Amino acid sequence: MTKTVFDLIIVGGGPGGYVAAIRGAQLGMSVALVERAELGGICLNWGCIPTKALLHSATVLRACRDAAHYGVTGAGEARPDLAAMVARSRKVAGRLGQGVAHLMKKNGVTVFAASAKLAGSGRLALDTGTTLSAKHIILATGARARELPALPVGERIWAYRQALAPAEIPKSLLVVGAGAIGAEFASFYRAIGADVTLIDMTPEILPQEDAEISQLARKAFEKQGIRVLTQCAVTGSTLTATGVRVSLAQQGKQTDLDVDRVIVAAGIVGNVEDLGLENTRVKVDKTHIVTDAQCRTGEPGVYAIGDVAGAPWLAHKASHEGVLCVEAIAGLPTHAIDPLRIPACTYSHPQVASIGMTEARAREHVKHSGGEIRVGKFTFAGNGKAIAMGEDQGLVKTVFDAKSGELLGAHIIHPEASELITGYGVAASLEATEEDLMQTVFAHPTLSETLHESVLSAFGKALHA
């Protein structure tokens, strides 16, 4: 007979849910994980991982095309094999999905392939007819792409799933939404030969990033041949004989754009429907579940983590919340997550990564106390490793509190930005000051030396600028 009573049940097997399950099992709890689709969630199967596989294929393609620059001949005629790229991407996602299944078995987590909804105190009803019970229930149901009425998803108007497994390369493509997802798709499709237009309603692309970094990203995209339109909104669309005609409104002007395909990347909404929340004290605000610092909802014994619990919508934030939530349930000491210490990465070409406050936000932050900030900048053109790699375009920018030396924010644009940002993440978590960072010895020659130089620059001590 299948066990139905547990110490902990988690609904959703994404990066938050399955990590919470593992931590619960490590702490001696009997744990059940309910997942209606694929273990690993959207991130592993249709988000973070497969997009990075495709983007790496694009990186290899660019490297082959530029091979002669590095003294390698015969690779300049490289062409994209889209079917092979997609097949590899799906294989990578499948391998990791199997890995999650193995981890569940290894840790003794009981997995139920079902949908679930709250059914009263400590009970969870599955659509298979089974009812599970636990003192603690964690909702980790994630989020989905926001739908736009003017762009109904179909054969020619894609959401992320269709964009990750195209049958052919579109000759022309409109990407709606210039946040991280939109920027990544724009970079990939441009690299494999599509004529790409990227639009956003805000004044700049990557609007969550520091304004200077966003402007540098825009210039880099446009140099690659991506057409960028900001303060631009979609007002309607019509299917044509071969593609889509999209009506655009930009600063009072109406224009029509004909493209083969459209990708909608206009944000996400939390998966809060059909969870039985209406009969509980769980509060929902703008499609996201409201929680406290320990991931507790208004309903005793019910918790929420990850994308369904609100911004920042990042897999690593979900995983960290999963551990925090379970450890709090177990009575262990925990520290509330500080969103300003969570790095964010966009895997476009070039990559953009950041942690903490933008320069503008930092100025506002210290303004109320009469304080000042210090800003440091260092370009990769002054870094030996970057020049040797042929990747000397980019910037590291750091923002400090002038009085205390606290690192308020760090921002990087470079093909390796996502790997570099963790250095500042560790510094922020350890509450390192500018003095600590300046006294740190960075290996030479490495790209990480740019992190050091940017800190030195903020205090007038840059050595290679």
pLDDT tens, residue by residue, 137-167:
999 999 999 999 999 999 999 999 999 999 9
Could you tell me what percent of the chain has a pLDDT over 90?
95
Q: Residues 7-37: pLDDT tens digits?
A: 999 999 999 999 999 999 999 999 999 999 9
- The reported pLDDT for the residue numbered 328 is 97
What pLDDT sits at residue 452?
Answer: 98
Q: Specify burial of residue 69 (Cβ count, 10 A radius: 0-12, 13-18, 19+).
A: exposed
Q: Is the pLDDT of residue 54 over 90?
A: yes
| Global confidence as pTM | 0.95
Mean pLDDT for the chain overall: 95
In this structure, how many other beta carbons lie within 10 angstroms of the beta carbon of residue 67?
15
Interval 217-244 mean pLDDT:
96
Q: What is the pLDDT of residue 257?
A: 97
Backbone angles phi, psi at 156, to 5 degrees: -110, -15
Of the candidate ranges 1-5, 147-151, 348-352, the one whose mean pLDDT is the lowest? 1-5
Of 367 and 258, the structure prediction assigns the larger pLDDT to 258
Q: Which of 14-28, 63-77, 88-102, 304-318 has the lowest mean pLDDT?
A: 63-77
Closest among 156, 144, 145, 171 to 237, alpha carbons compared:
156
Hey, what amino acid is at 84?
A
The pLDDT, as a whole number, for residue 77 is 83
pLDDT of residue 75: 79
Above 70 in pLDDT, residue 212? Answer: yes
The two tokens of residue 54 are: 């495709």
Q: What is the separation of C-alpha 45 from the centre of its chain, rounded to a whole number of angstroms?
A: 14
- Count Cβ atoms within 10 A of the Cβ of residue 200 and give its class: 0-12 exposed, 13-18 middle, 19 or more buried: buried
Task: Please identify which residue in the block is written with the tokens 């392939």.
Answer: 113
Average pLDDT over residues 172-195: 97
pLDDT at res. 1:
60
Catalytic residues: 444
pLDDT band at residue 367 using 50, 70 and 90 as cut-offs: confident
Residue showing tokens 């992320």: 160
Token pair recorded at residue 102: 């193995």
Structure tokens at 251: 């600063």
Answer yes or no: is pLDDT of 426 > 80. Answer: yes
Cα distance from N-terminal residue to C-terminal residue, the chain: 70
Cα dist from 6 to 29, 30, 109, whole Å: 8, 5, 10
- The residue type of 175 is V
Position 252 scores a pLDDT of 87
Which token pair is 34? 């309910």
Q: What is the pLDDT of residues 324-339, one digit of tens each?
A: 999 999 999 999 999 9
Q: Which residues pair with 113 in a beta bridge?
A: 35
Instruction: Report how far residue 301's alpha carbon sits from residue 336's, in angstroms, rounded to the nearest whole number.
Output: 18
pLDDT confidence of residue 430: 94
